[in-house]
A and B are shown apart, each in its own frame.
Chain A
Amino acid sequence: MHARADAADTAPNWPDDIFATLQRFDVRQVPYVPDAGHSKLIQRVVSSSTMRGIALTTEEEGVALLAGAWAGGQRGVLLMQSSGVGNCINMLSLIPILRFPFLTLVTMRGEWGEFNPWQVPMGSTTQGVFELSGVKVLRASYAAEVPAVLEAAAAQAYNALTPTAVLLSQRLIGAKVFTK
């Protein structure tokens, strides 16, 4: 178990790999509900000239937003943490009905050395919720595999219209450390 690397000088590089892949796939709209594990990627997105970061009040807004973006000719990706997946369930029905490319990157809580028991129930059902909702799940647990997983996920989501979630495991992100 390692602590989350929040300081800039110790920040991991895998968010840069994700950003580069999203850029290469011409992703334009990036709705998100903030999570510590996504903080570096969100910083890259909001300072990008080609992507628009869109802060949401709840994750399901992002699913609907991506449907509208696609109708208007743009690709997007939804960033959230595992607890937000439950908030999306009914809105996920838009994906097979409207057949738009859906890619979401989910930072995991409730696993791998979790401190907070309240994160565990939704973290434990995140993958199942996606699969029951028709969203394919890929997982990245190590920094070295992030580029390949992202490449595969983006390719199948945008080229084959295969709804895809990438779970960025807590092992990759680091368990959140609570100190008094």
Chain B
Amino acid sequence: MSKANLLDRRQVVSTLLANRKDVVAIGGLGASTNDMCAAGDHARNFYLWGGMGGGAMIGLGLALAQPQLPVLVITGDGEMLMGMGSLATIGLQKPANLSIAVLDNEAYGETGGQTSHTSAAADLVGVARACGINDSRAVTTMAEVEAFAKAVHDISAGPRFANVKIDSASLERILPTRDGAYIVNRIRADLGFQPI
């Protein structure tokens, strides 16, 4: 069911990445990874085509390895729900350079639009905050998205979490590369690491 004033996912993601500078971005399995590609391919884009529930943890591993770089996980409500325990793990580690943005359409859009737990009961902002991620925001306006995009670059005040309510429109798929080794090695090369 569509509600008024829900945000457009592509506009949200392109705003999050518009002035990305040195950000490393991880796109969760599903439409989020396509949204990231639609905003423009980038050597520091970590596209996921599997490993559902692992997006935030990949972000944590990267954030701990590169504490001077802003790391941004962009994922969906279904993917975040599957990895909800990782919010507790991140709340414990408190990586100051890690940000997580959930694109919450309250549905499993890739599998037929079945409603997700956030449609009726689960409050991911409350979960994140209760797990120790103090900067946890419920985002419903583009101004709030812009403010979060700016905050992502502050690598001294994270971790931070935003749950962005988006509309449930199914958009044309913009498919990124699905070669995982290429994706990882491209990021590593951009960060200055040699192949083994």
- Residues of A near B61 (CB, < 8 A) are 29, 64-72, 74, 76
Which of A57, A63, A64, A73 is within 8 Å of B65, CB to CB?
Answer: A73
With contact pairs A65-B57, A93-B50 given, residues A71 and B62 touching in the complex (Cβ less than 8 Å): yes
Interface 1/0 per residue, A146-159 and B, CB below 8 Å: 00000000000001
Q: Is B4 an interface residue (CB 8 A)?
A: no
Q: Is B132 an interface residue (CB 8 A)?
A: no
| Complex contact A70–B51 (CB within 8 A) | no
Beta-carbon contacts under 8 Å, B179-196 to A: 180-181, 183-185, 187-188, 191, 193, 196
Whole-angstrom CA separation of A159 from B88 in the bound complex = 33
Whole-angstrom CA separation of A98 from B58 in the bound complex = 12
With contact pairs A29-B61, A159-B196 given, residues A71 and B46 touching in the complex (Cβ less than 8 Å): yes
- Residues of A near B187 (CB, < 8 A) are 71
Q: How far is the CB of B109 from chain A (nearest CB, A)?
A: 20
Beta-carbon contacts under 8 Å, A2-39 to B: 28-29
| Complex contact B64–A67 (CB within 8 A) | no
Beta-carbon contacts under 8 Å, A47-102 to B: 52, 54-58, 60-74, 76, 90-91, 93-94, 97-100
Q: How far is the CB of A101 from chain B (nearest CB, A)?
A: 8
Which of A28, A71, A94, A161 is within 8 Å of B54, CB to CB?
Answer: A94
Q: Is B66 an interface residue (CB 8 A)?
A: yes
Beta-carbon contacts under 8 Å, B34-78 to A: 46, 50-55, 57-66, 69
Q: Is B156 an interface residue (CB 8 A)?
A: no
- Residues of A near B60 (CB, < 8 A) are 54, 65, 68
Whole-angstrom CA separation of A52 from B183 in the bound complex = 25
Q: Is B33 an interface residue (CB 8 A)?
A: no
| Complex contact A72–B191 (CB within 8 A) | yes
Can you list 16 pairs linking A and B with CB atoms under 8 Å apart?
A: A28-B65, A54-B89, A55-B92, A56-B85, A57-B88, A61-B54, A61-B83, A65-B57, A65-B61, A66-B61, A72-B24, A74-B64, A93-B50, A97-B181, A99-B180, A159-B196
| Complex contact B26–A68 (CB within 8 A) | yes
